[in-house]
Amino acid sequence: MDLSDEIQCSSQQAPCSTSPIIRDRPNQGVFHCPYPVENGLRIAVLVDGGFYLKRANYLFGAKEPEERARELQRYCHKHVPERSRLYRIFYYDSAPSKKKVFHPLLGRTVDLSKTDVHAWSTAFHAALRRMDRCALRMGELLDSQSEYVLKRQAVRSLCRKERTVDDLAEEDFMLDITQKGVDMKIGLDIASLAHKKLVDRIVLVAGDSDIVPAAKHARREGIDFVLDPMWHTITPSLREHVDAIETRCLPAAAPASPRSRG
């Protein structure tokens, strides 16, 4: 498969754009990049894995692990203009938890190592490890803080007395696990790429304002720093400290499938 091919959007989704799409300010319209495509750039694409999977599931629908990995590869390559070169894709995530966690609704302990989410994540990470010019940066999960919690929508409906506790179902709960080390690894890689002048541009697929200090450092080192929030709302402070906002696919209104993390 040609890596320059478009990401194939389903009939329920808006078509992808082959040109850079910039959301310069929240709640403003979409417009195309006003400046010309540069030649010969060395570009690193850094991807916050948890963020990407949630947004991709919403924008492109649920997919099998191998297909999601190929989609990620194509999406990252859309940030590399013609005659420029991809230095590397850095993907940040944590290995799926193997802990046994009590489920309050089911009234029993769930072995996370035997869940569909664990199998999907393991296969997805394996597919990324086989990918050219892709490096996995794995953080850790704080299993001691793992628990099933009610989703926000369920809490809201209970508080409004639209539902009762007896109406709750298994899909109203989500696994809440604290992840550590990922933001630090992203920051260290940004600092290293900028300080060693390994690339001319860093593209970060994320929506977390925690990367602001690293983005400021990269810009001071002369690196062009681009943020791709995949149509997620970002804070004004984050917008202030990046050179551009570029999202490589038009927004879609298709709801995410609750069955798959990917």
**Tell me, what amino acid is at 34?**
P
Q: What whole-number distance in Å separates Cα of residue 202 and Cα of residue 205? A: 10
**pLDDT tens track for 68-120:** 999 999 999 999 999 999 999 999 999 999 999 999 998 899 999 999 999 99
- The half-sphere exposure of 61 on its side-chain side, counting CA atoms within 13 A, is 12
Least confident range from 17-26, 50-59, 158-167, 176-185: namely 17-26
Q: Is 47 helix (H, G, I), strand (E, B) or coil?
A: strand
Q: Are 136 and 94 in contact (CB under 8 A)?
A: no
CA–CA–CA angle 72, 255, 63 (5° rounding): 35
**The pTM is what?**
0.78
Of residues 140 and 188, which shows the higher confidence score?
A: 188
pLDDT of res. 175: 86
- What band does 143 get if pLDDT is binned at 50, 70 and 90? low
Task: Give every CB contact of residue 171 below 8 A, 6+ residues apart in sequence.
Answer: 258
**Can you state the angle between helices 65-77 and 116-129, rounded to 10 degrees?**
40
**Tell me, what amino acid is at 174?**
M
Q: What whole-number distance in Å separates Cα of residue 154 and Cα of residue 161? A: 11
**Tell me, what amino acid is at 25?**
R
Q: Are 225 and 204 in contact (CB under 8 A)?
A: yes
**pLDDT tens track for 177-219:** 888 889 999 999 999 999 999 999 999 999 988 899 999 999 9
Cα dist from 250 to 15, 16, 143, 230, whole Å:
6, 5, 37, 9
Report the first-to-last Cα separation within the chain, whole angstroms: 21
Mean pLDDT of the chain: 84
Cα dist from 120 to 20, 96, 146, whole Å:
31, 9, 19
Q: Which helix (H) or strand (E) holds 100?
A: strand 100-103
All domains of the chain in start order, with CATH: 41-97+124-140+180-245 (3.40.50.1010)
pLDDT of res. 106: 87
Task: Give every CB contact of residue 117 below 8 A, 6+ residues apart in sequence.
Answer: 96, 175, 260, 261
Q: What whole-number distance in Å separates Cα of residue 68 and Cα of residue 91? A: 13
